[in-house]
A and B are shown apart, each in its own frame.
Chain A
Amino acid sequence: DTGVSQNPRHKITKRGQNVTFRCDPISEHNRLYWYRQTLGQGPEFLTYFQNEAQLEKSRLLSDRFSAERPKGSFSTLEIQRTEQGDSAMYLCASSSSRTSYEQYFGPGTRLTVT
């Protein structure tokens, strides 16, 4: 069990560019969550998947954000036409019924929009 991994760890982009982040959950975890954390705040829920189905999206997830989990394994989060307000740490977590749905977090991807 190698834990949840996220790539890249850091991303600097210019306003208006598109960015994509990847999350690889713990093997066989059927649930996958995305959160966003801004400086000095707690993480805020964005969306979650059970297997390949996206079951819930937060109102924080504007039309510029899209997430996929095509084969029920890894997931991608894309932000189109980035804005300075998108600068944050993007966290991924995964869980399974085997561990009572305890969520295991990855190290995060820090996005800076200049």
Chain B
Amino acid sequence: GNSVTQMEGPVTLSEEAFLTINCTYTATGYPSLFWYVQYPGEGLQLLLKATKADDKGSNKGFEATYRKETTSFHLEKGSVQVSDSAVYFCVLNFYNQGGKLIFGQGTELSVKP
């Protein structure tokens, strides 16, 4: 079946450190890939997306590249801030299957000043 695996958290970094959160997926077909973020006390928000192989999604300094050959969609940011502390979810979606989202288990990021 279709599934997403993320690196386990929590991840604790100092401000301005480099961030990588690994994500790999298993899918039959060609899904779209997303990163959603859940800030403390807030609802889920779309952070970035990529709809086909080799696409790079980017937003707020975060980037992720859809790698079909390695079935991966790793999230990166060059310099994290305290305000980036949140839970990050890697997600896949098949539009032609109704668009339901399949989430990874989430990775909690804590950035210390």
Give the complex CA separation of A108 and B42 in angstroms.
Answer: 9
Instruction: Classify chain B's interface size.
Output: 10 to 19
Within 8 A of A (CB), among B95-113: 95, 98-106
Taking CB atoms, residues of chain B closer than 8 Å to A106 are 43
Taking CB atoms, residues of chain B closer than 8 Å to A74 are none
Provide the main secondary structure of the chain A interface.
strand
Question: A21 at interface (Cβ–Cβ under 8 A)?
Answer: no
Question: A42 at interface (Cβ–Cβ under 8 A)?
Answer: yes
Stretch from A10-18, A78-86, A97-105 forming part of the interface with B = A97-105
B93, chain A: closest CB distance, angstroms:
8
Question: B46 at interface (Cβ–Cβ under 8 A)?
Answer: yes
Question: A56 at interface (Cβ–Cβ under 8 A)?
Answer: yes
With A102-B46, A107-B43 as known contacts, state yes or no: A44 contacts B103, CB within 8 Å. Answer: yes
Instruction: Classify chain A's interface size.
Output: 20 to 34
- Are the CB atoms of A40 and B43 closer together than 8 Å? no
Within 8 A of B (CB), among A1-19: 4
- Are the CB atoms of A95 and B99 closer together than 8 Å? yes
Question: B66 at interface (Cβ–Cβ under 8 A)?
Answer: no
Question: A90 at interface (Cβ–Cβ under 8 A)?
Answer: no
With A101-B99, A103-B101 as known contacts, state yes or no: A42 contacts B43, CB within 8 Å. Answer: no
Known: A42-B4, A48-B99. 4 other contacts (CB 8 A): A33-B100, A33-B101, A42-B104, A103-B99
Ranked nearest first, the 4 interchain pairs of A and B with the lowest CB-CB distance are A42-B103, A105-B44, A45-B100, A105-B43
11 of the cross-chain contacts (CB-CB < 8 Å) are A4-B43, A35-B101, A41-B106, A42-B103, A42-B104, A45-B101, A48-B98, A91-B44, A95-B99, A105-B43, A108-B43
